[in-house]
Amino acid sequence: MKRRPLLVGNWKMHTTVLDACHLAADIAKTCVGLKDRDVLLAPPFTVLSQVAHVVAETGILLAAQNVCWEAQGAFTGEISPLMVLDAGGAAAIVGHSERRQIFHEDNALINKRVRGALAFGLVPILCVGETLDEREGGQTFKIIEEHIRSGLAGVVAADMGDTVLAYEPVWAIGTGQTATKEQAQEVHAFIRNLVAGMYEKDVADQIRILYGGSVKPDNIDALMAQDDIDGALVGGAALNAESFERIIHFQEI
Residues forming contacts to ligand PEP in the complex (CB under 6 A) are: 10, 12, 168, 173-174, 212-215, 233-237
Give the list of residues 6+ apart from residue 208 with CB closer than 8 angstroms, or none: 3, 4, 6, 164, 165, 230, 231
Which of the residues 98, 105, 168, 188 is marked catalytic?
168
Give the list of residues 6+ apart from residue 189 with CB closer than 8 angstroms, or none: 227, 228
Query: 96 catalytic, yes or no?
Result: yes
Cβ-closest position to ligand PEP: 235
Dihedral angle at the C-alpha atoms of 73, 79, 82, 84, nearest 10 degrees? 170
Residue 72 or 101 with smaller CB distance to ligand PEP: 101
Query: 14 catalytic, yes or no?
Result: no
Give the list of residues 6+ apart from residue 193 with CB closer than 8 angstroms, or none: 204
Residue 157: what are its φ and ψ, rounded to 5°?
-55, -40
Least Cβ distance, residue 213 to ligand PEP (angstroms): 5
Least Cβ distance, residue 232 to ligand PEP (angstroms): 8
Least Cβ distance, residue 47 to ligand PEP (angstroms): 17
Segment (H or E) for 136: helix 132-136
SS3 127: strand
Neighbours of 140 (CB within 10 A): 19
Give catalytic residues, as residue numbers: 96, 168
